[in-house]
């Protein structure tokens, strides 16, 4: 019995340690100097597509930051999806084309994008890039030019740096969430870019060559459409590329309840895609002998940072329980924990120390453990349908 228990714990320790190493390689690679940039390409004609559901509180500001970057010949299309507020009138006031969609059964970003892309495809003049933005984002100066130029240069899908700013509620929780998004949406993609590997699509600030955009395998209603889209495109031969020079920001939810709702959607969706897509990607990488697909399978296998820390704590407790007759799993896990601590500290120092005070991250371990019910809910009653996050 002791032998079987030891083997099971050793396997769990090896798996958790592997995930920690993958996470740390990506993060530490982000600290490397930026490779030499290619000469900029003329961006050509661009279409910007914004799906929107009851976004009257934020759409005007989003279009205001966007319109400063729109050139003659470009198009901005807002798909007002099942809207019951002033979204449509605000879009018109800010010079956008508006498509209104009413279907209370088939709701969500994927359905809205299908309608918008079908509309744009009817244009007689060709586009050089199709950019997709969420309706609640601030589009930083130069973002559209950078995204479109990267698409033209690479003929690949491109993802901007999509980050979060504080929106209200607990300052400590906001800081931890802001840091977690920074690591997931900027640091790890930057590291993958340094390693010459593709990255995840993270939702807003995605850009596509037209031939790819017209054939996007949009799965309407999926709670993390963008993550699922990454792997569908990767298997189809269209790996995504990270463009850190292009940046869009969104505001974190205005209170703890809304933040919890958003976090549940993100993390349940991540776990759903993880469990369904990692085997698919590993099999595809073996069939094609493609290391890029294998690398993305490993990237996807890394769970949200809170869950990774919880897994390390749980396996550490189990390894400590058998340490008196087999200490090696505990030593391996302690080494992985030390590496993880050094990695997170280095990332904070390099990317976040000016914006996120260290004292507000001190409660991160307790915050991670407090999310245990959310992860247990994934096993018993996971969130499967798209739910809009509350705005102010």
Q: Residue 243 corresponds to which tokens in the numbers above?
A: 């463009």
Q: What is the pLDDT of residue 366?
A: 73
pLDDT in tens, 328-367: 999 999 999 999 999 999 999 999 998 888 887 777 777 7
In the chain, which residues have pLDDT < 50?
Answer: none
- CA–CA distance, 300 with 19 (Å, rounded to integer): 10
**What is the structure's pLDDT at 78?**
97
| 385 CB-near residues (< 8 Å, 6+ apart) | 221, 223
Residue 52 and residue 80 in contact, taking contact as beta carbons nearer than 8 Å = yes
Query: SS in 3 state form for 4-56?
Result: HHHHHHHHHHHHHHHHHHHHHHHHHHCCCCCCCCCCCCCCCCEEEEEEECCCC
Question: pLDDT of 143-166, one tens digit each?
Answer: 999 999 999 999 999 999 999 888
Q: Are 386 and 107 in contact (CB under 8 A)?
A: yes
Tens digit of each residue's pLDDT (9 = 90 or more) over 291-301: 889 999 999 99
């Amino acid at each position: 019995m002791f032998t079987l228990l030891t083997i099971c714990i050793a396997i769990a320790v090896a798996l958790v340690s592997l995930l920690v190493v993958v996470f740390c390689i990506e993060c530490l690679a982000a600290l490397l100097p930026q490779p030499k940039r290619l000469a900029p390409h003329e961006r050509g004609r661009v279409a910007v597509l914004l799906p929107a559901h009851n976004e009257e509180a934020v759409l005007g500001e989003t279009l205001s930051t966007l319109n400063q970057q729109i050139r003659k010949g470009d198009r901005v299309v807002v798909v007002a999806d099942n809207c019951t507020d002033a979204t449509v009138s605000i879009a018109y006031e800010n010079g956008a084309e508006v498509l209104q969609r009413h279907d209370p059964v088939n709701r969500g970003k994927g359905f809205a994008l299908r309608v918008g892309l079908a509309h744009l495809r009817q244009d007689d003049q060709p586009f050089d890039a199709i950019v997709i933005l969420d309706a609640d984002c601030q589009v930083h100066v130069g973002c559209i030019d950078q995204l479109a130029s990267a698409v033209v240069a690479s003929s690949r899908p491109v993802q901007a740096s999509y980050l979060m700013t504080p929106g209200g509620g607990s300052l400590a929780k906001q800081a931890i969430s802001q840091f977690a998004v920074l690591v997931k949406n900027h640091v790890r993609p930057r590291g993958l870019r340094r390693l010459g590997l593709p990255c995840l699509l993270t939702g807003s600030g995605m850009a596509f060559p037209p031939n790819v955009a017209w054939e996007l395998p949009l799965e309407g209603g999926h709670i993390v459409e963008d993550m699922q889209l990454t792997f569908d495109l990767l298997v189809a031969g269209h790996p995504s590329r990270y463009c850190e020079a292009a940046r869009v920001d969104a505001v974190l939810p205005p209170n703890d309840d809304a933040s919890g709702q958003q976090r549940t959607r993100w993390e349940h969706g991540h776990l759903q895609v993880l469990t369904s897509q990692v085997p698919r990607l590993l099999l595809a990488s073996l069939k094609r002998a493609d290391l890029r697909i294998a690398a993305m399978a490993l990237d996807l296998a890394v769970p949200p940072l809170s869950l990774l820390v919880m897994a390390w704590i749980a396996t550490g407790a189990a390894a400590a329980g058998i340490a008196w007759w087999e200490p090696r799993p505990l030593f391996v896990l302690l080494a992985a924990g030390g590496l993880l601590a050094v990695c997170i500290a280095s990332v904070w120092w390099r990317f976040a120390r000016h914006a996120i005070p260290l004292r507000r991250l001190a409660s991160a371990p307790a915050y991670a453990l407090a999310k245990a019910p959310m992860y247990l809910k994934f096993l018993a009653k996971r969130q499967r349908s798209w739910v809009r996050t509350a705005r102010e």
